[in-house]
Amino acid sequence: MKIDDVLQSMQDKFGSKIIKVERKNEKRAYVDIYPKDVVLLTKYIFKELGFRFAIATAVDDFDAIEVLYHFADDPSGFIVSLRAIIREKEDPRIETITGVTKSAWWIEREMHELFGIHFDGNTDLRPLLLPDDWPTGVYPLRKNFIVPKRDSRKS
């Protein structure tokens, strides 16, 4: 399957659920979607088209939080990234995709602790990388997080 056929099939199947399709080059495409449709589209790409879940990336875009889900099609060598834009920055929420693929288990835990995104339906959002005594409500990869000055030289 070619990248154009995949993008066309998604547009035919989901119509208005797809906000924008950006075909960056012959290997990469970015598809903007609404956060509420993420499970539906993930299921289509992962289960029906058989793409591999490469990883998800959260981006703090100042007035919104974006979550990008990167899917790789190994037989044809291209990557489709679904971009869900969450406008509610105070309490960003999106449905979990761990029901579709277990490979999202750790990355959702990571995005939860580093960006404060809540994944509805994910029962295991324990800290992955940060220590257990990390203060709640402090998300280090948000743009408003200021890295504290190091004072470790005293010891």
Partner 1 sequence: MSHKAHIPIGPYHPLQEEPEFYKLVVEGEKVVDVDVRIGWNHRGIEKLSEAKTFDQSIFLVERICGICSSSHPITCVQAIEDLGGIKVPDRALYIRSIVQELERLHSHMLWAGLAGHFLGYNTVFMWGWKYREPICDIMETVTGNRQNYAMLKVGGVRRDIEKEHITYILSRLDEFIRHLDMLRGAILDDPVLHARLKGVGILTKERAIDYAALGPTARASGYDIDVRRDHPYAAYDRIKWKVITQEAGDVFAKVVVRIMEMYESVSIIRQCLDKLPNGPIDSNPKDIPPGEGIGQAEAPRGECFHYVKSDGTNSPVRHKVRAPTYMNFPTFRETVIGQSVSDATIILAAIDPCYCCTERMLIVDDKDKEILNVQELIRLSQEKTMKLKEKMGYK
Closest CA to 93 of 119, 56, 65: 119
**Nearest CB to partner 1, comparing residues 12 and 126:** 126
Q: In which element (H, E) is residue 106 found?
A: helix 105-115
Kindly state the smallest distance separating residue 116's Cβ from partner 1, in Å.
14
Q: How many CB atoms lie within 10 A of CB 143?
A: 10
**What residues line the site for partner 1 (CB under 8 A)?**
24-25, 27-28, 30, 52-55, 57, 59-60, 68, 70, 72, 74-75, 77-79, 81, 101-103, 105-107, 127-131, 140-141, 145, 147, 150, 153
**Minimal distance, residue 57 CB to partner 1, in Å:** 4
Q: Please measure the distance between the N-terminal and C-terminal CA atoms of the chain and give it in whole angstroms.
A: 59
Query: Which amino acid, 36?
Result: K
Shortest distance (Å) from residue 15 CB to partner 1: 25
